[in-house]
């Protein structure tokens, strides 16, 4: 084999060149842009001025608050729903599990834009008769979901509808990969299906749950498509989410430098949130795993459960 072969360089070259052009360069350029301001028709260095402006910008803080609220609501519902479905499917209690594995995962293939249009129409009272049925409960007034202040919940529902089946699929695959001896041991100890799910399967899924939680939170903080589309049907402010705000700053108001600054801060906040989240929860899971090991030593030797799904550094 030729260790001095040119082949590996040529093989990575297309990826690396495009990666530099469309990732590294824009990233560096975003930072450079954020340090500049448009003065007298020219880009000039203004230091951290844009950052100072952003830190005092209530609209930006408001948009961050919105995505944090959204991230919590959305991540919790989608993860719980996915987890419950995967555990049910794995319990062998459910008839027709192959059918459900398909149907509940299906919304994943529906583009977010289409999902938003679809749900947007279902939220409007003219198109959804279920909402007309609810009218008497609302004092005879028409129930218009889109008019209320519950936009976070409406969007969380759209994203959960798309994502829950994806989480179900991930959890179910991980459960199927677990060593079956674990279940036999637990059953010998007198565990029923429910206890088995709560005491054995959920702890074993921990790394996967953690991974999907980080994924959800990162995704939630980038929220853009759904509010961007829904503003056609409902009252969505131009600074509803950080990305929507940055987009409008750039392409509605032409403040490219300020938009780059907002995006850069959002990227940093996202990074910090996911790192903190990772350390907090992995610290917890380390402790749990230690306890699990201890309790296993006390009962009977069993093959390592968590190891088979342990992430090799997320």
List binders of other proteins among 50-109 (CB under 8 A).
81, 84-85, 88-107, 109
- DSSP strand pairing (42-45 vs 36-39): antiparallel
Q: By CB under 8 A, which span of 47-55, 56-64, 253-261, 288-296 interacts with other proteins?
A: 253-261
Window contacting other proteins (CB under 8 A); options: 48-56, 62-70, 268-276, 294-302 = 268-276
The answer to whether 214 and 108 are in contact (CB under 8 A) is no
Q: Judge contact between 266 and 221, C-beta under 8 A.
A: yes
The interaxial angle of helices 112-123 and 151-176, nearest 10 deg, is 130
Interface residue with other proteins among 246, 248, 292, 305 (CB under 8 A) is 246
Cβ proximity to other proteins, 22 vs 45, nearer residue: 22
Pick 148 or 251: Cβ nearer other proteins: 251
Among 29, 138, 150, 195, binds other proteins (CB under 8 A): 29
Cα 30–35–36 angle (5° rounding)? 100
CA neighbor of 68 nearest in space, from 218, 256, 191 = 218
Cα distances (angstroms) measured from residue 141 to each of 109, 121, 146, 251: 36, 19, 14, 39
Q: Which of 38, 193, 202, 302 binds other proteins (CB under 8 A)?
A: 193
Binding flags for other proteins, 207-226, as an x/- string (CB under 8 A): xx--xx--x--x--xx-xx-
State which of residues 144, 237, 274, 282 lies at the interface with other proteins (CB under 8 A).
274
Minimum gap (Å) between residue 18 Cβ and other proteins: 4
125-144 residues in contact with other proteins (CB under 8 A) are 126-130
| Nearest residue (CB) to other proteins, 74 versus 298 | 74
Listed residue (207, 203, 244, 208) closest to 223, CA to CA: 244
Enter the tokens of residue 186. Answer: 């637990």
Q: Of 139 and 143, which has the nearer Cβ to other proteins?
A: 143
Q: For residue 30, what are the contacts with CB-CB under 8 A and spacing of at least 6? A: 260, 263, 264
Which one of residues 16, 55, 135, 280 is an interface residue with other proteins (CB under 8 A)?
Answer: 16
Round to whole Å and give the CA distance between 295 and 189: 13
- Binding string, 147-186, against other proteins, x = CB under 8 A? --------------x--xxx--xx-xxx-xx--x--xx--
Task: Count residues binding other proteins (CB under 8 A).
Answer: 113
- Residue 220 vs residues 43, 78, 138, 178, 212: alpha-carbon distances, Å: 33, 12, 31, 30, 12
């Amino acid at each position: 084999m030729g260790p001095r072969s040119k082949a590996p360089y040529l093989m990575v070259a297309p990826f690396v060149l495009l990666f530099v052009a469309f990732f590294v360069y824009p990233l560096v350029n975003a930072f450079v842009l954020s340090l500049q301001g448009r003065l007298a028709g020219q880009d000039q260095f203004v230091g951290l001025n844009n950052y100072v402006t952003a830190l005092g910008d209530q609209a930006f803080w408001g948009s961050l608050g919105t995505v944090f609220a959204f991230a919590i609501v959305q991540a919790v519902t989608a993860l719980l729903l996915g987890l419950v479905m995967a555990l049910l499917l794995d319990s062998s209690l459910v008839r027709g599990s192959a059918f459900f594995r398909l149907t509940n995962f299906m919304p994943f293939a529906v583009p977010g834009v289409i999902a938003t249009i679809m749900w947007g129409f279902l939220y409007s009272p003219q198109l959804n008769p279920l909402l007309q049925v609810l009218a008497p409960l609302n004092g005879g007034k028409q129930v218009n979901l889109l008019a209320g202040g519950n936009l976070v919940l409406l969007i969380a529902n759209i994203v959960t509808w798309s994502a829950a089946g994806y989480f179900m699929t991930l959890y179910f695959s991980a459960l199927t990969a677990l060593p079956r001896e674990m279940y036999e041991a637990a059953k010998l100890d007198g565990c029923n299906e429910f206890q088995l799910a709560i005491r054995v399967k959920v702890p074993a899924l921990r790394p996967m749950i953690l991974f999907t939680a980080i994924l959800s939170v990162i995704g939630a903080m980038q929220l853009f498509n759904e509010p961007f589309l829904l503003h056609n049907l409902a009252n969505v402010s131009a600074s509803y989410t950080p990305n929507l705000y940055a987009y409008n700053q750039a392409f509605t108001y032409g403040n490219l430098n300020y938009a780059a600054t907002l995006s850069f801060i959002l990227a940093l906040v996202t990074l910090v949130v996911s790192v903190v989240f990772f350390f907090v929860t992995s610290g917890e899971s380390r402790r749990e795993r230690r306890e699990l090991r201890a309790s296993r030593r006390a009962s009977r030797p069993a093959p390592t459960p968590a190891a088979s799904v342990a992430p090799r550094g997320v």
